[in-house]
């Protein structure tokens, strides 16, 4: 019996490595019995392959509710990692969002395979990702891989044809950052490949960040030189083409990651939930939410202006997040299969807002945000601090 199973498996693998038409032609001339095998190849093989699930060898359980922190590649691979693990371990926190592809476009580890298409962008921030994940497995800390998608100065510089050109130079924003083009499937596959590598390592979820066009793109979409790829001839205006491309990427990525058994989440500007869509950057809250397992709105009070009748949101974190939570609930309730809500909240001080417009963030301000989400029925959240320095003595389950 085992031998028959092995033969069948070998046949299926062979079939999957050949174009179906070639495989069918070889069988066609071998009599009625072989015709049945053609039928099997055509009808049953795709279903058999779709049931494949990759096993990383690590075991994690989804928490009762994800309560996590952001961790850079430097922190994950350096001496601070142990401190952050201990911090999570001694609190009600239970998850880490770790940079796998960072804001520059580099990946935070060096691929073992030197022939990897990502070998040149590998940085030795995390010297042994598998060992790092085993530590998290032991401590029962849920690992999420952050993959920054369309903000990518490294790929833009190497391949201007995948980015935007202004005159004869690669376009950069005011901070000197470049973006790659969401219209191009080559860019999609490049990033999905990195996400798949993270899944193979043992990450339980891939969180896509910067799934959008550059801010203010609607002001320069007619002056920059770039390709619209397959979206060029769609009968819709450029703004809706951008929304379509971003939505299509998220859907495509989720489909490609399905065999690896990971959840897919996406970061999105909080203000997009207040609009039908944000066509300048190509984000439609509802359309993205329909194609992910988790939606993570960035609702840092400091990032809002006078929304919800709140003139200085940084000074009123509870009120801001309570209003946002009520709005998001309505948006998600309108969807057929709403994702898990898991907002990003603020654990940093926004002194750049100027005197009178900000306050020092610490225990109270973080707890106010968590309480606001809970009062809105939202139990999951992520803490953002770019330097990975988080407030002490916070009650994370008020």
pLDDT tens track for 106-120? 999 999 988 999 999
State the DSSP code for 60.
-
**Domains delineated in the chain:** 2-49 (no CATH), 57-298 (3.20.20.80)
List the single range of 16-20, 272-276, 291-295, 324-328 with lowest mean pLDDT: 16-20
Q: What is the mean pLDDT of residues 294-312?
A: 95
Q: Per DSSP, what are the bridge partners of residue 297?
A: 268
Structure tokens belonging to residue 297: 């709105």
Checking if the pLDDT of 367 tops 80, the result is yes
Gap between the Cα atoms of 182 and 234, Å rounded: 15
pLDDT at 52: 62
For 42-70, give one letter per residue: b (16+ CB within 10 A) or e.
Answer: eeebeeeeeeeeeebeeebeebebbbbbb
Containing 384, the helix (H) or strand (E) segment is: strand 381-384
Average pLDDT over residues 12-25: 34
What's the rounded mean pLDDT across residues 115-133? 96
- pLDDT at residue 159 is higher than 90: yes
pLDDT band at 51 (very low <50, low <70, confident <90, very high): low
Whether the pLDDT of residue 39 is over 80: the answer is no
Mean pLDDT along residues 329-335: 97
Average pLDDT over residues 222-226: 96
Phi-psi map region of 192: left, alpha, beta (phi>0 left; psi -120 to 50 alpha): alpha
Return the higher-pLDDT residue of 307 and 288.
288
CA atoms of 14 and 18, how far apart (whole Å): 7
Residue 16 pLDDT: 36
The pLDDT of residue 24: 33
Query: What is the CA 53 to chain-centroid distance, rounded?
Result: 20
Query: For residue 53, what pLDDT is reported?
Result: 72
Over the range 198-226, which residues count as b (16 or more CB within 10 Å of their CB) and which as e?
bbebbbbbbbbbbbbbbeebbeebeeeeb
396 against 2, higher pLDDT: 396
What pLDDT, on the 0 to 100 scale, is given for residue 365? 98
pLDDT recorded at residue 54: 79
Q: Is the pLDDT of residue 6 over 90?
A: no
Average of per-residue pLDDT values in the chain:
89
Q: What pLDDT, on a 0 to 100 scale, did the predictor assign at position 323?
A: 97
Token pair 């990946």 is found at 107
d(CA 257, CA 195): 8
What per-residue confidence (pLDDT) applies to 35? 38
**Per-residue confidence (pLDDT) for residue 57, from 0 to 100:** 86
The sign one gets for the Cα dihedral 333, 334, 337, 339 is: negative
Does 317 score more than 60 pLDDT?
yes
pLDDT at 4 over 90: no
DSSP 352: G
Residues of the chain above pLDDT 70, percent:
87
Q: What's the rounded Cα separation, in Å, for the pair 9 and 31?
A: 22
68 — pLDDT class (breaks 50, 70, 90)? very high
Helix spans in the chain (H): 2-17, 20-28, 31-43, 45-50, 73-77, 80-89, 129-139, 153-158, 185-201, 238-257, 285-289, 317-333, 363-375
361 pLDDT more than 60: yes
**CB of 324 closer than 8 Å to CB of 235:** no
pLDDT score at 55: 83
Q: How far is CA 104 from CA 73, 166, 300, 304, 370, in A?
A: 12, 20, 22, 25, 30
Q: What is the pLDDT of residues 251-267, one digit of tens each?
A: 999 999 999 999 999 99
Check residues 185 and 279 and name the one with the higher pLDDT: 185
Which of 19-23, 236-240, 385-389 has the lowest average pLDDT? Answer: 19-23
């Amino acid at each position: 019996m085992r031998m028959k199973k092995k033969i069948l498996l070998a046949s299926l693998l062979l079939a999957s490595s050949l174009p179906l038409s070639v495989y069918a032609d070889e069988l066609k001339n071998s009599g009625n019995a072989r015709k049945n095998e053609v039928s099997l190849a055509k009808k049953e093989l795709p279903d058999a392959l779709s049931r494949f699930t990759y096993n990383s060898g690590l075991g994690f359980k989804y928490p009762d509710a994800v309560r996590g922190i952001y961790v850079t590649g430097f922190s994950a691979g350096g001496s601070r990692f142990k401190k952050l693990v201990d911090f999570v371990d001694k609190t009600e926190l239970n998850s880490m969002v770790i940079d796998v592809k960072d804001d520059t476009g580099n990946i935070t580890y060096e691929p073992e395979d030197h022939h990897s298409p990502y070998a040149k962008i590998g940085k030795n921030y995390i010297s042994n990702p598998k060992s790092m994940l085993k530590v998290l497995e032991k401590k029962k800390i849920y690992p999420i891989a952050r993959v920054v998608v369309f903000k990518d100065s490294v790929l833009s510089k190497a391949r201007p044809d995948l980015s935007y050109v202004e005159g004869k130079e690669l376009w950069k924003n005011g901070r000197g950052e470049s973006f790659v083009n969401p219209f191009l499937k080559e860019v999609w596959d490049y990033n999905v490949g990195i996400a798949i590598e993270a899944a193979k390592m043992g990450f339980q979820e891939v969180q896509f960040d910067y799934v959008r066009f550059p801010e203010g793109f609607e002001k320069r979409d007619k002056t920059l030189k770039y390709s619209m790829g397959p979206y060029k001839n769609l009968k819709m205006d450029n703004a809706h083409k951008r929304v379509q491309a971003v939505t299509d990427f998220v859907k495509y990525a989720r489909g490609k990651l399905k065999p690896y058994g990971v959840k897919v989440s996406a970061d999105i500007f909080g203000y997009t939930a207040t609009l039908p869509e944000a066509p300048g950057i190509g984000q439609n809250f509802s359309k993205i939410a329909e194609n992910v397992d988790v939606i993570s709105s960035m609702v840092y009070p400091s990032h809002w202006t006078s929304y919800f009748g709140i003139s200085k949101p940084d000074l009123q974190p509870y009120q801001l997040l309570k209003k946002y939570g009520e709005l998001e609930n309505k948006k998600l309730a309108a969807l057929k299969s709403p994702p898990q809500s898991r907002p990003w909240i603020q654990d940093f001080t926004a002194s750049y807002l100027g005197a009178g417009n900000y306050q020092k963030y610490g225990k109270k301000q973080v707890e106010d945000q968590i309480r606001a989400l809970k009062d809105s029925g939202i139990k999951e959240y992520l803490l953002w601090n770019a330097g990975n320095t988080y407030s002490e003595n916070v009650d994370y389950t008020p």
